[in-house]
Structure 1
């Protein structure tokens, strides 16, 4: 494996247009290191790197790139290079790439395919964008129930080079109806003359229009490929463990980004333009800024209360920050539980009661500390106000934070998108209302 200095030498050679030297240095890099090099540069320079690779090595590097980076790299390649790369992709990889490029480019890419590949690609493009049908592999090994173990093993050998996996064999009837599943291990351990219909086990399948992320969770739980079937239970493709890991990684990256009030970049940071990074953040900043106006309105309503006791203003950041953090913690916990199918929208009653108790316990602990500190500095009445407010805001924030992801899922909205701005706005505004209401009652102002 080449060290970091070799990659820096390649970058320097490319910057100075010493292409022959760059090509020589690239030969000492692994495909993974070449991918890292392309991901850290612009699409124009990435295309130059790509052209300096041999054909076989170039294909290996291209397959390792994400679909977004593949689409951008194609912009800098000649038409014959594009056609060759596109034709060699697996149908599911091809469909993901088509989703990333403009419609005009997608049309031109499809025109380079032969009739069979075009039909296969159109088939997968016909499924909903987030369905497992867009993510499945069409290359799998099947056998008939009346085939012998020896015949099935021979079929595995014939398909080994092209199939997405050979460790699982699917048993179908003459109309491709899914009957069962076999493992390669069970075939090796059985009598070669035995019929596979006696060995097969029931198969856990998923419909072709099922949500890809839900199917990935199912695949991860079973730790085996999932057969994908149509409405008549005919086998269409398979969803492998590798497919599941990729889908879950993408979903996790998207959730983390949106929980941080931004859109996912979908490409490596250093190869992303400044304009795109700013665009991925500015929408949420506007949403949060507009929602902050509600907080301003609450402060304006209680302006006279603040004028009577300026010390109240000192605790506003503490209370709103604690409320927001408590709500976000609850939302993150419930979003994760929804993602791994530990909860359903119908569990909202249980979640509300549970988070109310969790929030009350947190509020009691934080409120006790707030009561002690505020009492020492500002007197006992102020301590009662801070302690009581923390108890209330933590209870309410945890309850609302726990409910939001479930409500979002019920109305078919991404919980990570829905929860963050709502919780921020609600906790800030509600926390201030509670704070000033308690203060007026206790301090008689």
Structure 2
């Protein structure tokens, strides 16, 4: 149903019905449905959502998707949306936007929101200070439990922001933290400092200038609901929750697994190449792709040289020309299949350097079996169609054997060239297929004409 609703958003006459239905869908599900809409229509779908639902959906989006949506919206509605975001989410979004766009949006914010964003953006990129929340509840260590509970009750923070209460002294130096449930169970007359002493745990914190990964690691190590962020002198200035670093934790875990599998470095480079080709400057993509297409151009001339070299064979066995496209195309298609399978297997860590030999031998076996099957079929067709009528039944055998060799060769090249290019530091995305095409066409036609000349008896 949700998918039909979002398709309805593209129809002006169905907007009201689509609005009612879309607002009933859970935000997490709606995010995926929203991303299935063409980018040009995504803003229209987003505008149909109620204010609170729109904010929830926007928070679920990845920063780069948020940036794309923001740039397609009008300034007033963007400003209203940014004002509702937590300051750390707002700063992460600004990092994804072009500098000019971020600067313009910043200028439209209220002084309070702008100042909060400036505080975070004053810290180095990738630091804990960039991630921290500025909205947190603090109480003095000298306060009584009763006073602390009153502060919790009067707080405007949401329940998710009150999982811990941070304790500071009169100079805002960080002392530790307590959970609200501890306050509820304690004697109202006790001091908060006594609760900290009873916990018998040294305060754990990160400095604002520390690397963001350090905050993520400490959250995991100490199993904390939130970790405080302090300045260089130990004064509490913010906190970081697990929600703030979940992406970092996932990325770190993924990188660790990939490094153990031996493909971490390869995938890191591959991800960077893909990002530049998909979203980088057009001139970069043009320059890189032309370089590899020149390989195909040169290969075309070389293949032309092969045809010229066997000109006498072609003149003597004109029917052999009928199967040139077949020999060239089949090997190319198999090579493309193998290179695509390799790329997907590498991305999902199903192919690793340590297992590559086994994978390559598997592809060789698969290519050889496909070559025999397709070569046999093509050979029979060539024998009946052009061989017997032209008095050269050997042509069927030449086509069948050539196709077996070319298909096997295509599988070998498609499976091995991408890994060779990765190891050598080249982008296999735009580069593998041109090399596969050139090598396969040159060798495939050479084998084909050689077999035709030998089997038919042409000098």
Q: Structure 2 length as normaliser, TM-score?
A: 0.56
Secondary structure, counterpart of 2:136 in structure 1: coil
TM-superposed CA distance for 1:106, in Å, is: 0.7
Secondary structure, counterpart of 1:171 in structure 2: strand
TM-superposed CA distance for 1:277, in Å, is: 9.4
Provide the alpha-carbon RMSD of the alignment: 4.2
* Matching residue of 1:218: 218
Stretch moving more, 198-207 or 121-130: 198-207
Kindly name which structure, 1 or 2, has the bigger radius of gyration based on alpha carbons: 2
TM-superposed CA distance for 1:25, in Å, is: 2.9
* Matching residue of 1:158: 154
- Alignment map for 1:349-368 (pairs within 5 Å): none
TM-superposed CA distance for 1:170, in Å, is: 1.5
1:35 maps onto 2:31 in alignment: yes
* Matching residue of 2:279: 276
Aligned partner (choices 21, 26, 34) of residue 25 of structure 1: 21
Query: Aligned partners of 1:422, 1:150: CA distance in 2, in Å?
Result: 67
Query: Aligned partners of 1:111, 1:221: CA distance in 2, in Å?
Result: 40
CA gap of 1:238–1:101, structure 2 versus 1, over 3 A, is same
Give CA-to-partner distance per residue, 1:91-132, whole Å, 9 cap, x none. 101100100111111111111222222111101001111111
Aligned partner (choices 19, 41, 49) of residue 45 of structure 2: 49
1:14 maps onto 2:9 in alignment: yes
Stretch moving more, 21-30 or 156-165: 156-165
Secondary structure, counterpart of 2:124 in structure 1: coil
Aligned partner (choices 144, 147, 166) of residue 148 of structure 1: 144
TM-superposed CA distance for 1:41, in Å, is: 2.6
* Matching residue of 1:262: 270
Query: Aligned partners of 1:33, 1:258: CA distance in 2, in Å?
Result: 33
TM-superposed CA distance for 1:88, in Å, is: 0.8
Give CA-to-partner distance per residue, 1:251-307, whole Å, 9 cap, x none. 4567868642422799xxxxx99943999x979x99xx9xxxxxxxxxxxxxxxxxx
* Matching residue of 2:91: 95
* Matching residue of 1:108: 104
CA gap of 1:144–1:422, structure 2 versus 1, over 3 A, is farther
* Matching residue of 1:175: 171
**Unpaired segments ≥5 residues, structure 2:** 259-263, 293-341, 359-418, 426-459
Query: Aligned partners of 2:102, 2:273: CA distance in 1, in Å?
Result: 21
TM-superposed CA distance for 1:204, in Å, is: 0.4
* Matching residue of 2:306: none
CA gap of 1:166–1:21, structure 2 versus 1, over 3 A, is closer
How many residues get paired?
A: 299
Asked if 2 retains the 8 angstrom alpha-carbon contact of 1:160 and 1:166, the reply is: no
TM-superposed CA distance for 1:8, in Å, is: 2.6
Aligned partner (choices 106, 114, 121) of residue 117 of structure 2: 121
Q: Structure 1 length as normaliser, TM-score?
A: 0.58
Query: Aligned partners of 2:77, 2:162: CA distance in 1, in Å?
Result: 31
